[in-house]
Structure 1
């Protein structure tokens, strides 16, 4: 008798999933977020993975990047597909280029800055937790929103802003 992969790994069987394709400039379920000047595209939702991970693609311009922040319940990975980025994790800084990947453990503050004229990265958060809601709520903020408004959204979604954006200097 053959066992499904779920039984082999000791996990509970999940509902049967179907494969899907999300094209380069598209987003899963039309979830495209424009926030802090850059664009994020949801590629794989937590709904697709039973909350195990969410995957996004980001398109950035020179000097784009989020402020220093921390995720309390999620690990992240950034995989660079175009351009060059400066990434700070804790006190360490790394310059990443096409093909580089960095693992960002939960509970360690991090930020990134786009060094090249344009850049793209694919990033994953796992478990998926509140990442999709965080981005959706941040994208809905009006241009007059304050840092306190953004902080409330971060805290409600399991993370916190800890400092300013990185600078190239």
Structure 2
């Protein structure tokens, strides 16, 4: 006779001396006992993986244990290779820059006072203060490698950027984010110099580009064709001059 309790067969074979074998249904053990039994059998088979007793044969095949790194027990992970980004991140050291300190560049009439260069931050970012004279500015251009942030400290800037039909005036305390791949232009239309804190991330060569423009400016205002050629080497595309924003 066969019986099934909770979906599981619980059979017991009885054979007396000289009698035929017969199966009877016996009550199942408590679930706690079943759990302890299965755990005990699993531990037994783990200790004796080649055991072929009836208890072990009734257990399902033991799954291959894999750790989070995809390794089997006993395998050791390979040493982690340091990437170029790791090397750059560990190359930077903490530093303090005094108010009057920092290298200065003349970039087409705009003064750059560096507070942090890409070489000092391991390529993470560059930070400088721009002093923009009245009437000066940056023509429409697009960055392919970095994003820029502009925080106006004093004065007022007029900013044109892609996606907006009209220029925006940014007063002290205002901020503009120039995303890579998006055209933008900046001009000081006031009668006083504007001071702007400019953040560039990551630092992909703008420091070197500005240094080349500084050298080109030393001999006088360079032709636009030369400026376009210099900036193109660093992933910056200058568009044809347009009427300045008002």
| TM score, norm. by length of structure 1 | 0.84
- Residue by residue over 1:35-80, the C-alpha shift from the partner in whole angstroms, topping out at 9 and shown as x without a partner, is 2222111111111211110011011221110111111011000000
Match in the other structure for 2:223: 146
Equivalent residues of 1:77, 1:101 under 8 A apart: yes
Separation of aligned partners in 1, 2:120 and 2:226: 30
**Which is helix-richer, 1 or 2?**
2
Equivalent residues of 1:69, 1:111 under 8 A apart: yes
The verdict on how the C-alpha distance between 1:18 and 1:151 changes in structure 2, with shifts beyond 3 A counting, is same
Number of aligned positions between the proteins: 155
Equivalent residues of 1:86, 1:113 under 8 A apart: yes
Match in the other structure for 1:100: 174
Equivalent residues of 1:67, 1:166 under 8 A apart: no
- Alpha-carbon RMSD: 1.8
Tell me, what secondary structure is at the counterpart of 1:139?
helix
Match in the other structure for 1:128: 203
The verdict on how the C-alpha distance between 1:168 and 1:107 changes in structure 2, with shifts beyond 3 A counting, is closer
**Which is strand-richer, 1 or 2?**
1
Match in the other structure for 1:8: none
The verdict on how the C-alpha distance between 1:16 and 1:156 changes in structure 2, with shifts beyond 3 A counting, is closer
Distance apart, 1:22 and its partner CA: 3.3
Q: Using CA pairs below 8 Å that are at least 6 residues apart, which structure has the higher relative contact order?
A: 1
Q: Is 2:94 the counterpart of 1:18?
A: yes
- Residue by residue over 1:98-143, the C-alpha shift from the partner in whole angstroms, topping out at 9 and shown as x without a partner, is 0011111101111101122221000011111111011100111132
Match in the other structure for 2:130: 58
The verdict on how the C-alpha distance between 1:18 and 1:138 changes in structure 2, with shifts beyond 3 A counting, is same
